[in-house]
Structure 1
């Protein structure tokens, strides 16, 4: 079962159900539980903060969304990132070993917001306009 280390924690820690070696290709790792969120809620599965700092593991889909109607084991998807080897063009993957019982993810319960999408022919004007992807500068 997912656990919280502290009553005030925003997320529950989730544990690997099985031993897995993670390489360059994404793998699904069972977390050993199923969940039925309350109506109007869904769950996000995200990496623990220490995963990004202390390992080469990355969650390729950034956030796993567990819809309210999903009824199967919750899993986390991980891959091991490529690391430069001898030359900057040469990269290698360092396999990461996960053992059953390792805390590998966090689960966040979120309220689902509803909105109606409306198709329009044009958008309103703003100061920003179409600028994106760093258009406001580096600093």
Structure 2
């Protein structure tokens, strides 16, 4: 089966210690994001962390930034905004807003991969105002209404 042609996403390294995002396995959906510098975050505080690069996401696409599962498992660091979004018209440094949810200083070191980035196609949507929505089995049930 032929390999699909890769979409080009230009990257500009802004510092010598910045790293190009990489996939670590062939089946990985996301590209790991590497810290260019050590960080130290006070207890219950958030820190804006520049990754040392800017990207040109192709028109019609966007990038989503998630915490790596190992970061969530091994630390009390979280992305303060849950999921980061990089729009195709943004040209500034890609940053993380990292939240320390512990009562202790949290440290991460240059070279560590604490987050990951996925490039996705935008889906054009037109919202159409209406007075009625179709019925479903679930309807307006939410927040655990379908069980555990």
Question: Smaller-chain TM-score range?
Answer: 0.7 to 0.9
Contact 2:45–2:101 under 8 Å retained in 1: no
Instruction: State how far apart, in whole Å, the 1-side matches of 2:29 and 2:135 are.
Output: 37
Matched, 1:98 2:117: no
Judge which range, 39-48 or 128-137, deviates more: 128-137
Q: How much is the aligned-residue C-alpha RMSD, in angstroms? A: 1.5
Q: Which has the higher contact order (CA 8 A, sep 6+)?
A: 1
Look up the match of 1:8. 27
Unaligned runs of 5+ in 1: 83-92
Task: Identify, as 1 or 2, the structure richer in strand.
Answer: 2
Q: Which runs of 5+ in 2 are unaligned?
A: 1-19
Count of matched residue pairs: 128
How far did residue 59 of structure 1 move?
1.2
Task: Give yes or no for contact 1:16–1:102 (8 Å, CA) kept in 2.
Answer: yes
| 1:8 Cα offset (Å) | 3.4
Instruction: Name the TM-score, length of structure 2 as normaliser.
Output: 0.79
The residue correspondences of 1:1-139 to structure 2 (distance < 5 A) are 1-23=20-42, 24-82=44-102, 93-138=103-148
